[in-house]
Each structure stands twice: as C-alpha cells, then as structure tokens.
Amino acid sequence: MSRHTRPGLKVTVLVGENDTVHHKPLATEIVHRAHKAGIAGASVFRGVEGYGAHSRIHTQRILSLSEDLPMAVVFADSPEKVRAFLPELDGIVSEGAAILEECELVRFTPDDRPGA
C-alpha cells in the first residue's frame, strides 16, 4: 500500500433532516450534485441531537422532538474544485451553515512494485 497526499478543502454542510429542494431531501441533492461535479467523495451523517438558527433543540431521545434531526453533509477535494462547486449550494441551501476547513487529502492505492 502506498499513500499519496495533496492539499484539500473539506466542507461540512449542516442542514435539517426535513429540508428539501424540488421535493427531494436536501442532503441527498447535495451529494448527487457533488457527484455530478466530480467531487472526490461525499457522505451524509445523521445527528442524534442538535439545534440551529432557531435555537430549538432536536433530539432522538424524546419522541416528540425527534423530527427534523440535524444532518451533516461532508465532502472534500482540491480547494479549486470545491470552491468551483460552492455556488451550487447557493441555489439549494436556503437555511443552514457550511464549514470550510483546509485539510490534507490522503489517497491510499495498491502498491504496484514487484514483490510488494
């Protein structure tokens, strides 16, 4: 196994589970648009508790408040590719937040050396 590293930019988009765009879940739409744009990878994580701009706590621990749990859509690629993709979010994220973090992308590949 060998490693290849390069500078990257990681984006975490924080949205609600019930957020939609064109009658589809917003988190799903972000992933599909990132895929179409050729972003290296994206994942969606469902939170167990959180609050947003309206300061209402959403939690899975209390049945009546278990609606609209927090979601985090995380994707990363080269800074240039990510910044070129960000305008896509402007048109579909009406409420939420995005965190941009410089990072180092590590790609693991099979080692092609003879005898390895």
Higher-scoring residue by pLDDT: 95, 66: 95
For the domain spanning 2-105, the CATH number is 3.30.70.120
Q: Which of 26, 35, 115, 42 is nearest to 76 (CA)?
A: 42
Number of H helices, E strands in the chain: 2, 8
For residue range 102-116, what is the model confidence (pLDDT) as tens digits? 999 998 877 765 555
Q: What is the pLDDT of residue 4?
A: 86
d(C-alpha 38, C-alpha 52), whole Å: 29
Bridge partners of 42, per DSSP, are: 75
For residue range 22-73, what is the model confidence (pLDDT) as tens digits? 999 999 999 999 999 999 999 999 988 887 776 777 776 656 556 778 999 9
Domain locations in the chain as residue ranges: 2-105
Report pTM: 0.83
Q: Which of 25, 9, 28 is nearest to 86 (CA)?
A: 9
